A and B are shown apart, each in its own frame.
Chain A
Amino acid sequence: MVPAGHGRGEAREAQPSGLGQVPCSVKDLKAWLGIGLTAAAIVVALAAPWLAPHDPLKADFVQSLRPPGAPGHPLGTDQLGRDLLARVLYGARLALFIGTCTVLITAVVGGLLGLVAGFVERWPSAVLMRIADVQLSFPFILLAMTINAIVGLGLRNIILSLSAAGWVVYARVVRGEVLVVKQRAYVEAAAALGMGRARLLFRHILPNVAPSIVVVASLQFSSFIVAEAAISFLGFGVQPPTPAWGSMLSEGRDFLYVAWWLAAFPGAALALTALGVNLLGDWLRDTLDPKLRV
């Protein structure tokens, strides 16, 4: 939940120093790889119905457990004869949908609460920060899973439980930034000129903390999709037969002895997506807000 944040060391890397080193292209390479993988995941998610060679839900028992490379099934088929490539492609759709919804909800809710908590230094802020402390005393995945088991399974509930567990990071980061920004001279000048508090907050403070919100969102995105897959894997999230990577892995686990591809491909898709989004997030942080430690 707390991605390794480190500003100065990474920022300094761009400057060439000393002899016998690779030019700065390594950093660019990582950024391009991140952009490429993320773009690929988005394209696959949007175009899944056109890219998929078969219906991801259509069972065909004659064709069950075909290995990768079987005619018409490049990645093979599962125990019900469903095409694995189609299921993996549709899985991207679901993962990115859940990740996007969760990131939007947590960014708006956590961001607003953090803005207010940083701006209004009275008891509601103290209460909010204590709530954040309490929530941070539970490991993220355990909290999301427990909430999910209590509110019930399914797509909508997993988005809600991930959001309920994830807003804290934004609230903390944004509050910290607001505490610094609101002491700047231009904010004090605007206040002295008689500007209303809401206008002050949204016109002068929000634009200055927005980069941090974007960076946190990009770093949180991959932990949300991995957490969703983990929760679905354990059986508390998206339920079969919906093609979610986590529940596909859980089915693949039962067939590990006879059909390795069922576990290998959905997990590889998840890992590549997470890798792309992580690299993109690192690049955004280095570009927008190198000092941020999340």
Chain B
Amino acid sequence: MRAYVVSRLAQTALVVFLSLTAVFAMVRLSGDPVLLFMPMDIQAKDVNEFRQRLGFNDPLPVQYARFIGGAVRGDFGESLRYKQDALGLVLGRLPATLLLAGTSLLLTVVVAIPLGVASAVRRNSLLDHVGTVATVLGQATPGFWLGLMLIYIFSVKLRWLPTGGMGGLAHLVMPSVVLAAFLSARIARLTRSAVLDVLGEEYILTARAKGLGEGRVVGKHTLRNSAIPIVTLAGLEIGQILGGAVITETIFAWPGLGRLTVQALLNRDFPVVLAAVFFISLVYTLINLAVDLAYGWLDPRVRLR
């Protein structure tokens, strides 16, 4: 287990370093970064002064070393718009995103996994068919459209919920439902097929043959063995919550990381873009690491590969 953990950690460190390089390359390979940073109507003299001040006149390797050196210390430069430390700005928006993502995740686990298990155990029942229709629709419905329709129904027509912003519990309802909808559909489907897979195994037949109650067959023999694919895919999907948050936060004016990234892209505030994109990829990579480690713990055969 130890060698496995160490090798996964080393791989993760490499990916983080390479993604930092990718973030640098994305901005540098796309032409003159100063022109990306600046408004369209800037004078040539100002461009040159700005270029000098930010060090864009230095050779590329020097700039790269400086960028990596700064990034290691958490210094991505200063936001061009807010005149604040870019990473500080990103971290300041983190709690809002964590609250939203956490609530959606809780909602997903509470709804999707029991639904998936029940659909598999009572296959072809009414519940299973309703569940299948719901998950297929949930997967196809774009979150931003669902969000707009919910705003129309619950804010414009019924006036039950606020249209956006962050405040009490009422503000959290629609964004977390929208963010959870897609994820729940995926995880419910996956849970259903993982449980069905296990229910067809011979040891389940054996357990039933020796007279074990259905509760124990499902609760103990089935769930434990279907946990591996569920954890794997759920982990990958949890990472996608961060991508989904970009859109959901924009629709509901939720003051989180995703909305900050969209605004920074629109304002050409590239220090903030770099910090935010890198931070999101870091979190995403760490989630994947955690999933892999959980996988090794759930299924010891994995470590031997």
Contact = CB atoms under 8 A, between A and B. Distances in A.
Q: Please determine whether chains A and B interact with each other in the same assembly.
A: yes
B240 A139 contact: yes
Given A6-B197, A137-B284, A150-B30, A142 B148 contact: no
Contacts of B15: 130, 133-134, 137
Which interface class (under 10, 10 to 19, 20 to 34, 35 or more) fits A? 35 or more
User: Which one of A252, A267, A268, A278 has the greatest number of beta carbons of chain B within 10 Å?
Assistant: A267
B80 interface: no
Contacts of B240: 1-2, 139-140
A138 B229 contact: no
User: Which one of B22, B139, B190, B194 has the greatest number of beta carbons of chain A within 10 Å?
Assistant: B139
Interface string B20-32: 0010001100100
A146 B247 contact: no
B236 interface: yes
Tell me what chain A mostly uses at the interface: helix, strand, loop, or mixed: helix
Interface stretch (B211-219, B258-266, B290-298): B258-266
Contacts of A275: 136-137, 140
Interface in A98-133: 130-131, 133
Given A139-B280, A278-B140, A10 B193 contact: yes
Which interface class (under 10, 10 to 19, 20 to 34, 35 or more) fits B? 35 or more
A253 interface: yes
Contact of A2 (B193, B236, B246): B236
A81 B152 CA distance: 22
A4 B190 contact: yes
B193 A141 contact: no
A230 B247 contact: yes
A244 interface: no
Contacts, number: 162
Contacts of B243: 139-142
Tell me what chain B mostly uses at the interface: helix, strand, loop, or mixed: helix
Interface string B248-264: 00110000000001100
A227 to B, nearest CB: 9
A234 B250 contact: yes
Given A4-B233, A267-B149, A279-B136, A130 B18 contact: yes
Interface of B: 11, 14-16, 18-19, 22, 26-27, 30, 36, 120, 123-124, 129, 132, 136-137, 139-145, 148-149, 151-152, 156, 186, 189-190, 192-197, 200, 229, 233, 236-237, 239-240, 242-244, 246-247, 250-251, 261-262, 265-266, 273, 277, 280-281, 284-285, 288
The 10 closest A-B pairs by CB, nearest first: A139-B243, A267-B145, A9-B193, A6-B193, A9-B196, A275-B140, A21-B124, A149-B265, A274-B140, A141-B243
13 contacts: A2-B233, A4-B190, A20-B124, A21-B124, A133-B15, A134-B19, A137-B285, A140-B243, A141-B246, A142-B277, A230-B247, A249-B144, A274-B140
